Structure 1
């Protein structure tokens, strides 16, 4: 992406004078660890606590956030990039006032966007008039350049793992690439679908042991979410478990995570604004492509 496009984006910085926003990327490496469920339920639990939350479905080619909540989506981010509408116009309202930026499904991903479309994405986010407290980014599975870019641009990187060898291996691989190649050294760990608190602690210990031995990173255990049959029931109902079964073990754990995440510090520098997150995201992704 060339300098003129970034200058153009920089000129938009004063268009939105909202307070700094907390930007959290929720990722996991391996698919099937419950990452999107954790993302959406955490966002909704934050909404229950009175926070204004924007969820970015960052699986830009295989959107599923809206499907999980049974929301009707008429337009998505591809319509914004084509100039058909503004980002504000595609926002879908979910439970407790959360807003979702719906991604596309079965179409091209951001990897294929042109420089002009990258600039348009920056502009679209910086022109959002609504004020949000939290931007929660639900990344795709794997360790693609897009996943790495979202994680590099966020303030907090939450890694969801479950007690399976492949999950631990993939989480380690994600942290290895982010730390060694992209300068991300702090990770918050969520042990998901565990049978007990002890199992969650042992899972964290396994991941910490290999990370301490081979990586220069700092891991923090932020939640242990138990295996809960009510999650499957809520998915079938296309409802969040924190709404459908608010007193279930998984709901209580997710609500605790949301309350904790709200208290994570927000930087006062400009990167706390949504448009700066997107600008940094695009810069990171473009630099990565240029290196290939």
Structure 2
């Protein structure tokens, strides 16, 4: 005959069972939680936005995240090229009903998956209601497979950029130290503030010679945008100008894999760590997916 449990043992067992039930509820909640969405955008082309996305994806996957890159630069998609991948289809095929979304997902380095856009096919940048519906249904199927969705938007202030960045948990604005890039970054922040009421932005300053240059860019943008737009612009960090980046691009391989000890690679690893440690506000959960259902893309 087994001995009776003491009152203290019974209390401990009850606490353990309650903790187990709590853990299971948390696991269930996490399993049903939509992916965290990070939109990476820029005010102008040529600042290295897509290359930043490709390398951040690899680094976040290294940190244990299940990463999907949505190449939403619908007129000039090239994340697949930067990762050395050859698309067999694109989002245009999905929204037109010609392909299933699973047929076009590319499996890249470090277990990063890529959903390619339609490079050079500008006609799909305006989606009809039927096309938008197909896109929503297709993307909704992917929610349970990934915990991180990196969206590479187009550059500038088109309706597509506003659409894809508008529902993200974090919006990362990539600039370089050039005055024109700073002015264009202000323009895209202004539009996203006015059209989508986004009040917080992460600034990533690319191709700097010194870290102090990133501070200068941030201070200038924060001073103007904070005064006139009432937004919070946080300095996510910088990436050094590094010839290793161009060599990696020519080899169609992320610099963090080709030259892991390069200064740019170390910067990108730190940026991925900072993004990974950020928590999205509770009220933003599922906002990206809700927007897909509610909004349309218009010229």
2-side partners of 1:129 and 1:117: how far apart?
19
> What do residues 25-55 of structure 1 show as CA deviations (whole Å, max 9, x unaligned)?
0001111111001111001111111211000
- TM-superposed CA distance for 1:186, in Å, is 0.6
- TM-superposed CA distance for 1:199, in Å, is 1.1
1-side partners of 2:128 and 2:160: how far apart?
15
1:216-235 to 2 correspondences below 5 Å: 216-235=230-249
- TM-superposed CA distance for 1:114, in Å, is 1.4
State the structure with bigger RCO (CA 8 A, min sep 6), 1 or 2.
1
Question: Which residue is equivalent to 1:238?
Answer: 252
> What do residues 196-241 of structure 1 show as CA deviations (whole Å, max 9, x unaligned)?
1111111111111211232210010011111111000000010000
1-side partners of 2:140 and 2:228: how far apart?
39
2-side partners of 1:252 and 1:119: how far apart?
41
CA separation of 1:182/1:268 partners in 2, compared to 1, >3 Å: closer, same or farther? closer
Alignment match of 2:295 (pick from 267, 271, 284): 284
> What do residues 79-104 of structure 1 show as CA deviations (whole Å, max 9, x unaligned)?
22232332122110111001000111
1:52-131 to 2 correspondences below 5 Å: 52-128=66-142, 131=145
Equivalent residues of 2:175, 2:181 under 8 A apart:
yes
- TM-superposed CA distance for 1:285, in Å, is 3.6
Question: Which residue is equivalent to 1:261?
Answer: 275
1:1-292 to 2 correspondences below 5 Å: 18-128=32-142, 131-268=145-282, 272-273=285-286, 277-281=288-292, 283-286=294-297, 289=298
> What do residues 100-142 of structure 1 show as CA deviations (whole Å, max 9, x unaligned)?
0011122134432211111111101112375211000001111
Partner SS state of residue 235, structure 1: helix
Could you say which structure has the larger radius of gyration?
2
Structure 2: runs of 5 or more not aligned = 1-30
CA separation of 1:128/1:86 partners in 2, compared to 1, >3 Å: closer, same or farther? farther
> What do residues 4-25 of structure 1 show as CA deviations (whole Å, max 9, x unaligned)?
xxxxxxxxxxxxx643311000
Equivalent residues of 1:110, 1:146 under 8 A apart:
no
Equivalent residues of 2:74, 2:125 under 8 A apart:
no
2-side partners of 1:285 and 1:144: how far apart?
13
Large movers: runs of 4+ above 6 Å: none
Equivalent residues of 2:83, 2:108 under 8 A apart:
yes
Structure 1: runs of 5 or more not aligned = 1-16
Q: For the aligned residues, what is the CA RMSD?
A: 1.9
TM-score relative to the length of structure 2: 0.85
2-side partners of 1:169 and 1:118: how far apart?
32
